[in-house]
Amino acid sequence: MKAPLFIIVSLLLFSCSNIPFNRKKWNEIDAGVPYYRKDMLEDLTTNHKLIGLKYPELISLLGQAEFRSSDSLIYTIDLHYDVIDPDYGKDLVFTFNKDSIITSFKINEWKNK
């Protein structure tokens, strides 16, 4: 009886993997999908000062964003496909001011029905 309980507890512990942020791994992409970002997101957003960084400092830390607008940068964290089109995604969205200083960030999770 103890062996099945040990296996269940081990699976639960190892399935919730959070790993420290690592720039090289952050930028590893497999088939258009970032491989490690979802596991590094918590460490990045809680243990690294992101608000107040200048645009070049953020790019130096995270690399180029997948999307950019006049006042925001979007990094894809996770992306799942249903045959051809994406049906689920999670993005890290940074907003910056006219002086190119990061003023906020949010995690945007979406699903297509």
Contact 102/92 with Cβ under 8 angstroms?
Answer: no
44-73 pLDDT, tens per residue? 999 999 999 999 999 999 999 999 999 999
For residue 6, what are the CA distances in angstroms to 1, 9, 18, 68? Answer: 9, 5, 21, 46
Domain boundaries, the chain: 23-111
Low-confidence ranges of the chain (pLDDT < 50): 9-15
DSSP letter at 65 equals -
| Predicted structure pTM score | 0.81
Rounded to whole angstroms, the Cα distance separating 67 from 69 reads: 7
Residue 64 tokens, joined: 């180029």
Confidence (pLDDT) at 85: 82
Residue type, 89: G
